[in-house]
Structure 1
């Protein structure tokens, strides 16, 4: 049951981070889940485990990590689009 709750939390964090960034995460709901889980992992590596915790996910580091992940993904996708236009 813990894995299912963590997946739900990853989706919620991905959705909130997308709302904060004002951009859609590629992949829809599955993209939100993946971005939230990877962002939580990245945030815990960069910031540690602190702040409120729900379903084994520390909210603040997860949110910061997901926002960084979305920003990095957006930059890479924009660079790829510009490169394809030149060809």
Structure 2
């Protein structure tokens, strides 16, 4: 009995079954297990990209998730290339997502570095 419950629970989590649905007027949005995993992969890729580049995006975790989502989209749909041995989780290629997020964080660093380089500190020591 316990083994059948466990296998049924694992099968439910590995399928793309809906977790919950939001209905607001004519707007219907269903969150599935695949959506949650996709966002988790984007968050991990974005945070790793921030760590590797050494530059933080505005918005904290939300900024990292957005960088990961754009990186996944950029390297799977706009610039499609293949990496042999690239593991995929729910159709998301892990290495390409990480490369895309790193590229976005690096570009953000190049664009905004000049604005931060000449800023004065908030406080001065010894004054």
Instruction: Please state which band the TM-score falls in when normalised by the shorter chain.
Output: 0.7 to 0.9
Whole-angstrom CA distance in 1 between matches of 2:111 and 2:54 = 17
Q: Are residue 37 (structure 1) and residue 69 (structure 2) matched?
A: yes
SS in 1 for 2:57: coil
The unaligned stretches of length 5 or more in structure 1 are: none
Corresponding residue number in structure 2 for 1:16? 48
Q: Which residue of 1 aligns with 2:101?
A: 66
> After TM superposition, where is structure 1 displaced by more than 4 Å over at least 4 residues in a row?
none
Root mean square deviation, CA, Å:
2.0
Tell me the CA shift for residue 78 of structure 1. 2.3
Corresponding residue for residue 53 of structure 1: 88
Q: Under a length normalisation based on structure 2, what TM-score does the superposition of the two structures give?
A: 0.58
Which structure dedicates a bigger proportion of its chain to strand? 2
CA distance in 1, matches of 2:81, 2:110: 25
Q: Quick one: distance in 2 between partners of 1:5 and 1:38?
A: 16
3-state SS of the aligned residue for 2:55?
coil
Higher relative contact order (CA 8 A, sep 6+): 1
